[in-house]
């Protein structure tokens, strides 16, 4: 299931940009009340977007306690420092963020857990099973971070009006 964004709720930032993930980190850090309730989350989590005729976009969120300490770019293959990462084509990632922007949160098959279960668009990878485990043990935290994109879409609409 893919969703088309409405003009009133689309992300202004490209999904394959560090600025988007920095904004997600900022959004996370601005809402400790959400993440403290979910419990601490210590992990180095990556997102890899494969792009046609271009190097993949690869970004890491360094999550500590109840927030995101740092957002860094890494070269595909240079993921030794990560616990686990999600990898998929850019258009699938675009669909993930479009769905969040449109609905205020991930819906249907566009949640991280569902995508990974179906594994036909986005897959979870890690160096070992212990690292991959963290994706499931911290899943609600990760989903909440991504759902933060909805607030960015709304805010940008507000800024532009």
Partner 1 sequence: MGAEDARSDLPEVGPMGMALDWSWLRGVKSEWGVAAKPSARGLTMMDIAVGSYGEIPDVAPLRTMAPRGSAIPEGVPDMGYLLNAKSDVWAQNVAELYEEAVARQWSATSAIPWAELQTLDPDVEHAMCQLCTLLTEVEMIAADLPAKWLWRVNHDFVEAKMFLGTQIMDEMRHTEVFRKRALANGGGLLKAGKGTEELLRTILQAKSFTQASALLHLLGEGFVLDIFRQGELISPTHVEKKMFRMAMQDEARHVAYGTMHLRQAVEADPDVAEEIHEALDVGEGVIAQLTMQPEVFTALAVLLAGGTANVEEKGFPLLQQLMAKMFTSYLARCERAGINRVERTLIPLEMMGIDRSQLAVA
Residues 6+ apart with CB under 8 A from 109: 1, 115, 118
Question: Does residue 136 touch partner 1 according to CB under 8 A?
Answer: yes
Question: Does residue 109 touch partner 1 according to CB under 8 A?
Answer: yes
Between residues 16 and 99, which has the closer beta carbon with respect to partner 1? 99
Give the nearest distance from C-beta 43 to partner 1 in angstroms. Answer: 11
122 closest CA partner among 93, 142, 148, 99: 93
Question: Does residue 111 touch partner 1 according to CB under 8 A?
Answer: yes
- The CA distance from 62 to 119, in Å, is 24
Question: Does residue 118 touch partner 1 according to CB under 8 A?
Answer: yes
Under a CB-based contact definition with an 8 Å cutoff, are residues 27 and 67 in contact? no
Residue among 72, 143, 154, 157 that touches partner 1 (CB under 8 A): 143
Residue among 2, 17, 72, 107 that touches partner 1 (CB under 8 A): 107
Site string for partner 1, 35-74 (x = CB under 8 A): --xxxx-----------------------xx---------
Give the nearest distance from C-beta 33 to partner 1 in angstroms. Answer: 13
- CA angle in degrees (0–180, nearest 5) for 25-31-37: 115
In which residue are the tokens 């560090």 written? 18
Under a CB-based contact definition with an 8 Å cutoff, are residues 123 and 114 in contact? no
Beta sheet of 57-64, edge-to-edge order: 67-73, 57-64, 43-50, 84-89, 122-126
Question: Does residue 29 touch partner 1 according to CB under 8 A?
Answer: no
Between residues 57 and 110, which has the closer beta carbon with respect to partner 1? 110
């Amino acid at each position: 299931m893919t969703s088309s964004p409405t003009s009133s709720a689309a992300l202004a930032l490209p999904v394959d940009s560090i600025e988007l993930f920095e904004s997600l980190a900022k959004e996370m850090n601005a809402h400790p009340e959400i993440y403290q309730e979910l419990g601490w989350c210590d992990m180095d989590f990556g997102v890899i977007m494969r792009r046609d005729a271009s190097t993949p976009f690869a970004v890491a969120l360094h999550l500590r306690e109840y927030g995101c300490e740092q957002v860094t770019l890494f070269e595909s293959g240079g993921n030794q420092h990560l616990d686990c990462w999600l990898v998929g084509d850019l258009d699938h990632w675009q669909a993930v963020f479009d769905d969040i922007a449109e609905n205020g949160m991930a819906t249907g098959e566009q949640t991280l857990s569902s995508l990974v279960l179906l594994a036909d668009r986005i897959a979870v990878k890690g160096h070992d099973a212990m690292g991959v485990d963290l994706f499931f043990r911290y899943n609600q935290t990760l989903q909440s971070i991504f759902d933060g994109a909805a607030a960015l879409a709304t805010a940008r609409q507000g800024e532009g009006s």
